[in-house]
Chains A and B, each alone.
Chain A
Amino acid sequence: MTASILAFLHALVAQGAQMTLILLLAPLLTGLVRKVKARLQRRRGPDLIQPYRDLRRLLGKEAVVAENASWLFRTAPYFVFAATWVAAALIPTFAANLMFSWSGDLIAITALLGSARFALALAGMDIGTSFGGIGASREVMIASLAEPAMLMIVFSVALVAGSTQLSTVAEHMLTGNPGIRVSLAMALVALLVVAIAENGRVPVDNPATHLELTMVHEAMVLEYSGRHLALIEWAASLKLMLYISMIACIFVPVGLAADTASPAGNLVGIGTWLAKMAVFGTALGVAETAVAKMRVFRVPNYLGAALMLGLLGVLLLFVSQGM
C-alpha cells in the first residue's frame, strides 16, 4: 500500500517536473534562437535570458484592452496558454511513459494546438480591426494545409511504430530498430516544414517583423498588451519547444529514459534533452538566417509539398511492409 502510494507520488512528481521544466525552459530556447541569428548577422544581440525579462516586464504592466473587446478577447490568452501547455505536457521530453502520457496521443496533441489556434484567430477578429482580420484569415489558411500535413506525418509514424502514443513511438524508435525507411525520411522532411510553418518562423512568417502587411501571427495579436501579450508570447515559445521536443523524441530518441524510475536515467534524459534543444535551436537560427521570407501566396505551395510528402509516405506504408 505504502509502496504504491510512493510510486504514485513519484510519478506525479516526474510529470510535474516535466511540465515545469518545459514551461520554464521555453523562453530560453527562444532567446537562444535570437542570439544565434544576431551573431550570424554580426550583431551582439540580446542576452540569452532577454525573453524572461520581456515576460516579466509585460506581466508587470497594465493591460490595455480595446473599448469594444468582449470576454472572448480577455479569456483567449489564458486558453491558448493552457491548451499549449497541456499539449506540451504530453511530449516525452526527458522520459517516456510519464504519468498522464496516455491521456492524449499525437492526434490529440495536434488537435489541442488547433484548439489554441482557433481561440487566437477568434480573438484576432474580436475588436473588428483590419489587421486582426488579415492575421486570422492568413493563419487559418496556413493551418488548413499545415494541419492535414501534420496528420499525415502522424499517420506515417504511427504506422511504423504501430501506435499513435508518443511514448510508445519513442520506445519503438529507440529499441525496435526501425532501420532507415523511406517513409520516415519523408515524414521527417514534412515535419520540419510543418514545424516551421506552425511556429511562424522564416520563411513562412517572421516573428521579428514590424512591417504590417507581411505579418501573420503578429497581426493577429496586434491588439494585445501587458499580461495577455505575455501569455501569448510564452505560449509561442512553448509551442516551439513542443515541436522541437517532438521531432527529437521521434527521430533522435537517444538518451530518453524509458520511465522515471531511475534517477540516473532521468538525469541522462534531461542532459541529452537540453543538448538536443541547443543543437536544434542553433540549427533553426542558422536556417532562418540562410533563407528569405516568402510571399504569403507561395506558402500554400510550400505546405502542399509537405502534405504530398506525408501522403506519399503513408501510401508507401499501406502498400508495402518494408518501406
Chain B
Amino acid sequence: MIGQLAAIIPAFMVLGVLGIVAARIPAASLLVYGGSLVLCAALLGGGLAGLSGDIERLVLPIGIPWVGGHLRLDPLSGGFLALIGLGGGGASLFALGYGRTEAHPGRVLPFFPVFLGAMTLVVLADDAFLFLFGWELMSLSSWALVMAHQDHDGPPAGPQPGFVYLVMATFSGLTLLLAFSLLGGAAGGLGFDAIRTHPVAPALASAAFLLALVGAGSKAGLVPLHVWLPLAHPAAPSHVSALMSGVMTKVAIYGFLRVAFDLLGPQPWWTATIVLAAGGITAVLGVLQAMLERDLKRLLAYSTVENIGIIFVGIGMALAFRLNGFAAGAALAITAALFHALNHTLFKSLLFFGAGAVLNATGRRDLEAMGGLIRRMPRTAVFVLVGSMAVSALPPLNGFASEWLTFQAILLRPQLPQWGLKLMFPVDGALLALAAALAAACFVRAYGISFLGRPRSDAAAQAHEVDAWSLTAMGAFALLCLLAGILPGAVIDSLAPLAQALSGARMPVQLADPWLTIAPIAASRSSYNGLLVFGFIALSMLVTAGVVHRVSRGVRRAPPWDCGFPQAAPDTQYSAASFGQPIRRVFGVVFAVRDTVDMPEPGEMRAASIVQRRRDPVWDSTYARIAGAVGWSAERLNVLQFLTIRSYLGFVFGALIVLLLTLTLWQ
C-alpha cells in the first residue's frame, strides 16, 4: 500500500510539469484538475486503508546521501492522508468548473498539484529531512498560489499578503528545523525511528515541544501567530483558499501531533496549559474578528482561526489527560479534536467554494455589495446555508457533533492534580461556548447579508448560478456535512485506530449502541443521537405543514409591510456594518474600536461622516513593533552602504581582530 501511496507524490509533480507545458491549451485545466481528482481519490482510499491497517515502511534511495528517504504509513498518517484526499478531491472537482474562469491559468495550474503532492509528502515522511523538505515545498507552492492574483498594480494598501506569508512560513520552517535538531540529540539522528528510540533530556524535549507548537501553530493559525492567515488564504483563488484553510491547516496539526504524541513522551503539565490557553484565546479572537469583517473570504479565514482554536483545545486536553495517565479521557479529547478537524475540512471547503461561486457570479467579495443572492443562485444558497449551519455548531449538522464531544471531554472532570490545568478546563469551556455562540451570530450576518435581503449592487442583482462541476462539489460536501452530523458514531468508530495510536486507548464502540446513539462514556452520563434529532425535526415539520396547510387559507403575495413605511431603496436595509454594530459595541474593547462621528450643525451644508477604527491587538503589540524595529535598524545601518573603501577595509580589519581575540579567549 505504501508503495502506491508514495507513487502518488511524483504523479502530482508530473501533473505540475504538465500544468507548465500545457497552460496555454484550454483543456489544460481539465487535465490538471481531473488528474488531481483521480490522485486524490486514490489518496483517500489508501489513507483509509492505512488508518485501520498495520504500520508499513518504505526506504527510498533519494534523500540524504547514504541515509535515504524514509516513508511510513501508520494510522496517524493514514487518517491525515485521507483528509488530504477528501479536501483535495473536493477542491479539484470544484476547480474543474471554477478553474475555467481563471484569468491566468499558467499561474495556478503548475502549483496546485505540487501543493497537494507536498502535503502528501509531509504526512508520509518518516525522517526530519523529508518532513522539512515537504513542509517547505508546501509553503512555497502555496505562496505561489497566493501570489497568483497579484497584478502589477499590486494589492491595496496595508500588509502585503505574499510578503507576510513568506516571512511567517520561513519562521515556521525555522522553528521546526530547530525542534528536529534538538530531537535528533548529539548523535544527530534524523530518522523518526532514531528519535523515538533515543529520547533526549527532559529540558530539551520541552524546548522541542514548544518549538514544534510555534512552528506548526504558525502554519495552522494559532494566535498570536495567525496574522498571515487572514491575509494569505483569501488572496488565493477560491479552490486554493479552500485547500489552504481546509487541508493545509490540518497538515500543520498533523505535524504537531506527530511531534507531541509520537516522537515525544508526556511533557510537564505547563506545556499542556500553554496549548489549552492558546486554543481558547484563538477560538474567541478568531470569531470576533470574523464577526466584524466585511470581506467574505477574509471572514471565512478568520473563522478558520476560530476552528483551529477549538481543535487545539481538544489536543491540549488530550495532552493533559495523557500526562496524568488517564488514557480514556485522552482518547475522548483527541477523538473530538480529530472529528472537528474533519468537520472543519468539510464545511470550510464548502464555504470557500460558496465564496468562490459568489465571487464568480458577482465579481465582488465585499459583503456590502451583495444581497438577495438566494434568488439568483438558488442551489449555491442551499449548500452555503448547510455550511453556515455546520460551522455555527447547530444540530443536526456535523459541527455540533464534534463540539458536543469537546464539551463532554471538558465535563469529564478527572481529578487532575495540577492547578493550572484545573483552572484552564472550565475557562476553556467558557471560551468555547462564547466562540460557538459568536460563530452563529457571525454566520447569520454573513449569510443574511450576502444571500438574503435585496441586492445592494448591480453586480448582485445580475448574479448568475455557477456551473455544474462547482455545484456538484458543493452539494457533495453539504451532503457529507449532513451525514457526519447524523451519523457521528460511524466517524468516531473509524477514528478509533487513530485515537488508539495517539492516546493508547479508544472510545467505546459507538455503532453498537441502539438507534446509532453516541455515548462517549455511558448513556446515563451523556448521549446524543443526530439521526433521531434530524428525523424528529423533519417529521415534525412535515406533520405541522400537513396539518397547518389543511386548516389555513393559503398565501397571498403583497408588498413588504415594514410597519407601514416600506423603503424602496436597497440602501435602507441593514448592512454588514450595522448588523455587526451591537457585537462591536459589546466586545469592541478587545479591538480598541473607536467611532468618530462628524455631525454638521443645523444649517451647515456639508455631509456628516463617521470614521470607524478597529485595531488588531496582536498585530499592534507584536508584529507592528517588530516591523518597526527592523525598519528602524535598517535605517540606521543604511549609512554603511555609502562609505569609502578605506572605511570598509577598516571594518574588515576590525572584524578580523575581534574574531581572533574571541578565538584566543575561547581557548
Interface, chain A (partner B; CB < 8 A): 59-68, 70-72, 74, 78-79, 81-83, 85-86, 89, 100, 102-105, 107-108, 111-112, 114-115, 117-118, 121-122, 125-134, 136-138, 140-141, 143-148, 151-152, 155, 158-159, 162-165, 168, 212, 222-223, 225-227, 230-231, 296-297, 300, 307, 310-311, 314-315, 317-319
B158 within 8 A of A: no
Q: Is there an interface contact between A133 and B578, defined as CB atoms closer than 8 Å?
A: yes
What would be 18 A-B contacts, judged by CB atoms less than 8 Å apart? A64-B557, A65-B558, A78-B544, A111-B394, A118-B440, A121-B448, A129-B560, A129-B572, A130-B562, A130-B573, A136-B444, A137-B578, A143-B437, A143-B440, A163-B524, A164-B525, A226-B552, A318-B413
CA distance A74 to B557 in the complex (A): 12
Please judge, given known A-B contacts A136-B579, A141-B441, whether A125 and B411 are in contact too, CB under 8 Å.
no
| Residues of chain B within 8 A of A151, CB atoms compared | 407, 429-430, 433, 436
Count of interface residues, chain B, beta-carbon cutoff 8 Å: 90
Q: Is there an interface contact between A315 and B560, defined as CB atoms closer than 8 Å?
A: no
Give chain B nearest CB distance to A150 CB in angstroms: 8
Please judge, given known A-B contacts A68-B375, A125-B448, A147-B436, whether A132 and B552 are in contact too, CB under 8 Å.
no
CA distance A154 to B395 in the complex (A): 17
Partner of B554, one of A59, A63, A141, A223: A63
Q: Is there an interface contact between A65 and B537, defined as CB atoms closer than 8 Å?
A: no
B233 within 8 A of A: no
CA distance A225 to B215 in the complex (A): 56
| Residues of chain A within 8 A of B523, CB atoms compared | 102, 165
| Residues of chain A within 8 A of B567, CB atoms compared | 129-130
| Residues of chain A within 8 A of B441, CB atoms compared | 140-141, 143-144
| Residues of chain B within 8 A of A222, CB atoms compared | 561-563
B526-557 contacts to A, CB under 8 A, are 526-529, 532-533, 536-538, 540-541, 544-545, 548-549, 551-557
CA distance A127 to B515 in the complex (A): 40
Q: Is there an interface contact between A121 and B533, defined as CB atoms closer than 8 Å?
A: no
B408 within 8 A of A: yes
| Residues of chain B within 8 A of A115, CB atoms compared | 389, 394-395
| Residues of chain A within 8 A of B356, CB atoms compared | none
Minimal Cβ-Cβ distance residue in A for B444: A121
Partner of B430, one of A125, A144, A152, A164: A152
| Residues of chain A within 8 A of B541, CB atoms compared | 78-79, 81-82
Partner of B551, one of A59, A118, A158: A59
| Residues of chain B within 8 A of A78, CB atoms compared | 541, 544-545, 548
CA distance A319 to B419 in the complex (A): 8
| Residues of chain A within 8 A of B526, CB atoms compared | 105, 107, 158, 163-165
Please judge, given known A-B contacts A78-B541, A129-B573, whether A89 and B536 are in contact too, CB under 8 Å.
yes
Minimal Cβ-Cβ distance residue in B for A122: B448
Q: Is there an interface contact between A145 and B586, defined as CB atoms closer than 8 Å?
A: yes
Give chain B nearest CB distance to A250 CB in angstroms: 16
Q: Is there an interface contact between B430 and A128, defined as CB atoms closer than 8 Å?
A: no
Please judge, given known A-B contacts A122-B448, A125-B452, whether A62 and B556 are in contact too, CB under 8 Å.
yes
Q: Is there an interface contact between B437 and A227, defined as CB atoms closer than 8 Å?
A: no
Minimal Cβ-Cβ distance residue in A for B396: A115
CA distance A143 to B573 in the complex (A): 22
How many cross-chain pairs have Cβ atoms below 8 Å apart between A and B? Answer: 291
CA distance A296 to B454 in the complex (A): 27
B422 within 8 A of A: yes
Q: Is there an interface contact between B426 and A103, defined as CB atoms closer than 8 Å?
A: no
CA distance A118 to B375 in the complex (A): 20
Q: Is there an interface contact between B394 and A133, defined as CB atoms closer than 8 Å?
A: no
Q: Is there an interface contact between B583 and A141, defined as CB atoms closer than 8 Å?
A: yes
Give chain A nearest CB distance to B569 CB in angstroms: 10
Q: Is there an interface contact between B583 and A144, defined as CB atoms closer than 8 Å?
A: yes
CA distance A155 to B408 in the complex (A): 10
| Residues of chain A within 8 A of B533, CB atoms compared | 86, 103-104, 108, 112
| Residues of chain A within 8 A of B371, CB atoms compared | 128
CA distance A141 to B278 in the complex (A): 25
| Residues of chain B within 8 A of A137, CB atoms compared | 445, 574, 578-582
Minimal Cβ-Cβ distance residue in B for A316: B426
Q: Is there an interface contact between A104 and B529, defined as CB atoms closer than 8 Å?
A: yes
| Residues of chain A within 8 A of B572, CB atoms compared | 129-130
B447 within 8 A of A: yes
Q: Is there an interface contact between B437 and A130, defined as CB atoms closer than 8 Å?
A: no
| Residues of chain A within 8 A of B549, CB atoms compared | 227
Q: Is there an interface contact between B562 and A223, defined as CB atoms closer than 8 Å?
A: yes
Give chain A nearest CB distance to B370 CB in angstroms: 11
Minimal Cβ-Cβ distance residue in A for B539: A82
Given A68-B454, A165-B523, A297-B586, list of 11 further CB < 8 A pairs?
A111-B393, A122-B447, A126-B374, A129-B566, A129-B572, A143-B441, A164-B408, A225-B561, A226-B553, A227-B549, A297-B582
Q: Is there an interface contact between A311 and B527, defined as CB atoms closer than 8 Å?
A: no
CA distance A78 to B448 in the complex (A): 19
Give chain B nearest CB distance to A156 CB in angstroms: 10
Please judge, given known A-B contacts A138-B582, A148-B437, whether A103 and B532 are in contact too, CB under 8 Å.
yes
CA distance A65 to B517 in the complex (A): 40
Minimal Cβ-Cβ distance residue in B for A320: B422
B423 within 8 A of A: yes
Give chain B nearest CB distance to A203 CB in angstroms: 17
| Residues of chain B within 8 A of A318, CB atoms compared | 413, 422-423, 425-426
CA distance A168 to B441 in the complex (A): 32
Q: Is there an interface contact between A168 and B525, defined as CB atoms closer than 8 Å?
A: yes
B480 within 8 A of A: no
